[in-house]
Structure 1
Amino acid sequence: MKPSSAIGIAVATAGILMGALMGGTSPASFIDIPAFLIIFGGTFGVTMASCGWESMREIPALYKIAFRAPPDGTRERVALMVSLAEQARREGLLALDDRIREIDDEFTRKGLQLVVDGIDPDLVREVLEAEIEGMLARHTAGAAPFDKAGGFAPTMGIIGTVMGLVHVLQNLSQPATLGPSISTAFVATLLGIGSANVVYLPVANRLKGLSASELTLRTLTMDGILAVQAGDNPRVVEEKLSSYVAPMARNAEEEEATPVASLQDRRVAEAA
């Protein structure tokens, strides 16, 4: 698992703080309790009003998914589908019943069970497509709170700044306090824009990217299951499903499968 999202947010935060330090500004000057309450409390409230409490309850789990996303499994899924195609051609579709118990992915198990049960291919496709549509709807709902928060947080920052400036204007009779008061007022804007662009929107985009990857994996799986049901040649199944694998991953797989001696012979030939 690669926590790229967590690393990216940490790097962005560190870069902002280092820039502030190099500019002579202390990070402690960004700590303002009223601004924190306005930005984070206000953003949480309006996001909950937009998405509902049920969506807000899922936020900790969604952060975990974004920060610890599983690796891409398309190559492994292609290998599984080819293996199933080979067994089905050799032993028949009913022989796949024993393999179903060994598969961890629920979507794959469901599709194979339909095939083993002798369900019509068109109906199998309809069922699996309905599963995919349901997954996309859940993923869209999961990313919505972060999208909404990314839009609301800057506005909450402006509200906090305006409130701070109102306080400044009420104390114009005390010139010595104007500078610190104005500085504190703009902390709200900084927190609102910063939280939106460093945390909320990146996490939302990460979840959307993971959803797209899962869509690709499930579409690959559906095509593979239907090919197995149709009795396609395993080599044809592999060629068909390999189109879902990124070219770089395909090249890496080919290099791993190439014997060392062949690589050495190729280098000798190129040198000649």
Structure 2
Amino acid sequence: MKRNLLPVIGLVVGLGLIFASMAADGSLLRYFDGPSLIITFVGSLSAIMISFPLSTLKKVPALLKMLMFAPDENRWGLIETLTHLAKKSRTEGILALENEIKDLDNPVLIHGLEMVVDGTDIDTIEEILNVELEQTEDRHSVGQQVFIKWGEYAPAFGMIGTLIGLIAMLGDLQDPALIGSGMATALLTTFYGSLLANIVFLPIAKNLEIQTANEMKTNEMIVEGVLALQRGDNPRVIEQKLQSFLSQTDKKRKKEEQKSVEVAQEF
């Protein structure tokens, strides 16, 4: 896991720009209204509590932690590991991989290698690993749905708060001087709902979606490597096949690192 401060930086910059524009026209206090904030945040939270079971909502703190500590997707390292295992399997036999498993930390790779060592047929290995990947994706998608729905509910409750404020204002028009301030207060809930949805909830959902996609791509690469090991493919062929999962940027960065190492060795 590596620390990821980019979401926090984005949140601070976004809120800073909004608050700066608000402060340019006067005091920030006029943009604060306790009841409006309660209607928007607590109201949307209550809708989330109705929509999802408690077991899912308990995972929200862990999901937020994922924003700060993104997994280190070292695909080059996994390719080198799988290539090494393929070479060892060819020279020492498939059972020699059993001693290598205890040094690994990727659960998908460990489970796949255990089935290879046990002699499980390739179709069964592929089926089991693909089911695991589907279940992992489903678990992650539930977390994404929490924040997607929260991003939908917040503006809706903001509109509800605005309607409540307008009804209360229109119900008492004895003092026309209060219409302007009453309208401004009523619109604050719409502002809060839009703000929470577009700078907090929906960006979090998108971040989790991208992290899930990256993890799934890494796991698909591992499954392909495990199946190639079971088939007894040439280690060089396995390496080239797995490199197709890498982006051009990753390949270029690796070549530059290798070139730097070669230059350093010359000296």
Shorter-chain TM band: over 0.9
Deviations 1:188-211 (A, max 9, x none): 000001101111111111111111
**TM-score calculated relative to the size of structure 2:** 0.93
**Preserved CA contact (<8 Å) 1:93 1:116:** yes
Show the 5 A alignment for 1:25-104.
Answer: 25-104=26-105
Deviation of 1:259 after TM superposition, in Å, equals: 4.3
Q: How far is the alpha carbon of 1:260 from its aligned partner? A: 7.2
Maintained 8 Å contact 1:3/1:69: no
Deviations 1:54-104 (CA, angstroms, capped at 9, x unpaired)? 221211111111232123222221121112112211211111111111111
Distance 2:247 2:27 in 1: 45
Secondary structure of the residue that 1:244 maps to in structure 2?
Answer: coil
TM-score (norm 1): 0.91
Structure 2: gaps of 5 or more residues? none
1:17 equivalent in alignment to 2:23 = no
**CA distance in 2 between partners of 1:27 and 1:113 (Å):** 61
Rate the CA distance shift 1:79–1:25 in 2: closer, same or farther, 3 A: farther
Deviates more, 1:204-213 or 1:58-67: 58-67
Gap runs ≥5 in structure 1: 264-272
- Equivalences for 1:99-110 in 2 at 5 Å? 99-110=100-111
What residue in structure 2 maps to residue 137 of structure 1? 138
- The alignment status of 1:118 with 2:130, answered yes or no, reads no
Q: Aligned partner of 1:33: which letter? A: G
2:160 pairs with 1:159: yes
Aligned to 1:180: 181
Q: Which moved more, 1:150-159 or 1:9-18?
A: 9-18
Percent identity between the two aligned chains: 34
CA distance in 2, matches of 1:80, 1:62: 29
Amino acid at match of 1:35: S
1:225 matched residue in structure 2: 226
Over aligned residues, Cα RMSD in angstroms? Answer: 1.7
Q: Distance in 1 between matches of 2:249 and 2:100?
A: 30
Give the counterpart letter for 1:11 in structure 2. Answer: V
Once the two structures are TM-superposed, the CA of residue 262 in structure 1 deviates from its matched residue by 6.7
- Is 1:247 aligned to 2:248, yes or no? yes
Moved over 4 A (4+): 259-263
Which residues of 2 match residues 202-217 of structure 1 at below 5 A? 202-217=203-218
Tell me if structure 2 keeps the 8 A contact 1:9–1:199: yes
Task: Answer yes or no: is the 8 Å Cα contact 1:114–1:124 preserved in 2.
Answer: yes
**1:190-209 map, 5 Å:** 190-209=191-210
